[in-house]
């Protein structure tokens, strides 16, 4: 029978339970210089492993780290976000996950002298007007996000999810402030999901996505710097950038109608460019049969094309 290591038992006993507390304890240890920086931001499992390794060292060394551990455990007991508060982030599909992240990095909280606070969520238009006055580089407007050193261009949905968790767990803002930001974020995401743009911009073909991307750049000067660099996403960027275009529903609705009309025209022009007009003279009976077989006058061309290709195949003429 294998003998369990007392150090491992100690580590398992003191390892935080739940994702929220793992994120928070890791941040506390990292900010104290106890855990070394990593090349890539560690995943939740990697954080657990790093904390567990430190806890085993605390047991072995008996060098006073027990006092720090007690202090950290008291910090973890302070009311903060729990796993249940953030579980909806884990349930978001990729499109809404990216939109949530983009809203968050474009949000700042101003705490007033009387303790109240104001949540500002910047649209791309605000961003172009105010970027120089805020940070200069125009990458991230949320000062709390910057101060936490979170990834500014996460390359996968797992990394975006982790950035959202880490922000709400480790930000120094008061819990009630962060919970209001989270509520606002949830409302905006649900509103975006029911928008007409969500259905229209759905990534049903690369050709359509390429057209929409070019349209946003030319007509609306989108995307801005963050989204431009998020190469792992395509439809998600198109959807989120437009959804954050303006606070006004009417403005977005008008732009949606323009985009839909422009896309329809582009498809028609492209289709017309591949067709040639010919004059056919048919007797009346043949014309009526053609209309009936095609299912209507507008479908005659498709039927004629189909019959031509079938005959060409029979004669061995098709490519």
Provide the residue-wise pLDDT of the chain in tens; the chain has 319 residues: 455 688 888 888 888 888 888 888 888 888 888 888 888 878 889 999 999 998 888 888 766 677 888 888 887 776 677 788 888 888 888 778 888 888 888 777 766 666 666 666 665 555 455 444 344 444 556 778 888 888 888 888 888 888 898 888 888 788 888 888 888 888 888 888 888 888 888 767 888 888 888 888 888 877 666 677 777 788 888 888 887 777 678 888 888 999 899 998 888 777 665 666 677 787 888 888 888 888 877 777 778 878 887 877 777 775 5
Same domain, 254 and 266: yes
Last residue of a domain, one of 77, 95, 118: 77
Residue 1 lies in a domain: no
Please identify, among 77, 93, 125, the residue that sits at the C-terminal boundary of a domain: 77
Q: What are phi and psi of 109, to 5 degrees?
A: -115, 125
- Residue at 220 is within a domain: yes
The phi, psi pair for 117, rounded to 5°, reads -145, 155
Q: Which pLDDT score is estimated for 128? A: 53
What are the tokens at 211?
A: 């057209």
| Shared-domain flag, residues 127 and 216 | yes
Q: What's the CA angle centered on 172, arms 141 and 134, to 5 degrees?
A: 20
Q: Is residue 173 part of a domain?
A: yes
Q: Give the rounded distance of the alpha carbon of 126 from its chain centre.
A: 20
Residues 154 and 23 in one domain: no
**Do 51 and 130 have their domain in common?**
no
Supply the pLDDT for residue 151: 84
Contact (Cβ atoms closer than 8 angstroms) between residue 189 and residue 99: yes
CA dist., res. 211 & res. 144, Å (int):
35
d(CA 76, CA 85): 16
Q: Which of 28, 59, 77 is the last residue of a domain?
A: 77
Regarding whether 246 and 163 lie in a shared domain, the answer is yes
How many alpha carbons lie under 13 Å from residue 73 in its C-beta half-sphere?
12
Q: How many domains does the chain have?
A: 3
Work out the burial of residue 281: count CB atoms within 10 Å of its CB; fewer than 13 is exposed, 13-18 middle, 19 or more buried: exposed
98 and 233 in contact (C-beta within 8 Å)?
yes
Report yes or no on 319 lying in a domain: no
Contacts of 205 (CB under 8 A, 6+ apart): none
Residues in the chain: 319
Same domain, 172 and 191: yes
Query: What φ, ψ does residue 54 adopt, rounded to 5°?
Result: -65, -40
Domain extent for 29:
6-77
- pLDDT the model gives residue 112: 64
- Can you give the pLDDT at residue 142? 79
47 is a domain residue: yes
Q: Residue 168: which of 185, 152, 156, 154 has the closest Cα?
A: 185
The answer as to whether 244 is a domain residue is: yes
- Residue 104 sits in the same domain as residue 223: yes
Give the chain's radius of gyration (CA, Å): 29
Distances in whole angstroms, Cα of residue 89 to Cα of each of 27, 189, 192: 20, 11, 15
Report if residue 175 sits inside a domain: yes
Residues 36, 126 within the same domain: no
- Residue 257 has what pLDDT? 92
φ, ψ at 15 (rounded to 5°): -65, 130
DSSP, collapsed to helix, strand or coil, labels residue 312 as helix
- 223 preceded by cis ω (within 30°)? yes
Indicate the pTM of the whole model.
0.68
Amino acid 130: pLDDT: 46
What is d(CA 285, CA 162) in angstroms, rounded to the nearest whole number? 69
Give the C-alpha separation, 290 to 298, whole Å: 11
Q: How far apart are alpha carbons 189 and 195 in whole angstroms?
A: 10
């Amino acid at each position: 029978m294998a003998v369990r290591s007392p150090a491992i038992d100690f580590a398992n006993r003191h390892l935080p339970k739940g994702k929220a507390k793992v994120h928070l304890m890791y941040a506390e240890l990292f900010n104290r210089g106890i855990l070394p920086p990593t090349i890539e931001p560690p995943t939740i499992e990697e954080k657990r492993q790093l904390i567990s390794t430190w806890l085993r060292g605390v047991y072995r060394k008996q060098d006073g780290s027990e006092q720090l551990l007690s202090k950290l455990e008291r910090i973890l007991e302070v009311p903060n976000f729990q796993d249940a508060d953030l579980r909806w982030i884990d349930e978001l599909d990729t499109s809404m996950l990216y939109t949530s992240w983009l809203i968050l990095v474009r949000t700042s909280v101003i705490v007033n002298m009387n303790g109240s606070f104001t949540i500002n969520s910047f649209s791309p238009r605000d961003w172009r007007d105010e970027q120089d006055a805020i940070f200069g580089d125009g990458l991230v407007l949320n000062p709390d996000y910057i101060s936490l050193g979170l990834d500014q261009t996460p390359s996968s949905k797992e990394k975006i999810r982790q950035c959202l968790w880490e922000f709400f767990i480790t930000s120094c803002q008061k819990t009630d402030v962060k919970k209001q930001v989270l509520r606002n974020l949830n409302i905006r995401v649900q509103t975006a999901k029911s928008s007409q743009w969500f259905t229209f911009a759905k990534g049903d073909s690369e050709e359509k996505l390429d057209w929409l991307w070019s349209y946003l750049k030319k007509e609306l000067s989108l995307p801005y710097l963050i989204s431009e660099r998020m190469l792992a996403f395509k439809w998600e960027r198109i959807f989120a950038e437009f959804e954050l275009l303006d606070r006004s529903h009417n403005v977005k609705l008008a732009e949606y109608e323009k985009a839909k009309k422009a896309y329809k025209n582009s498809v028609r022009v492209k289709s017309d460019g591949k067709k040639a007009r010919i004059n056919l003279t048919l007797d009346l009976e043949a014309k009526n049969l053609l209309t009936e077989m095609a299912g209507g006058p507008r479908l005659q061309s498709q039927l004629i094309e189909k019959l031509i290709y079938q005959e060409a195949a029979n004669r061995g003429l098709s490519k």
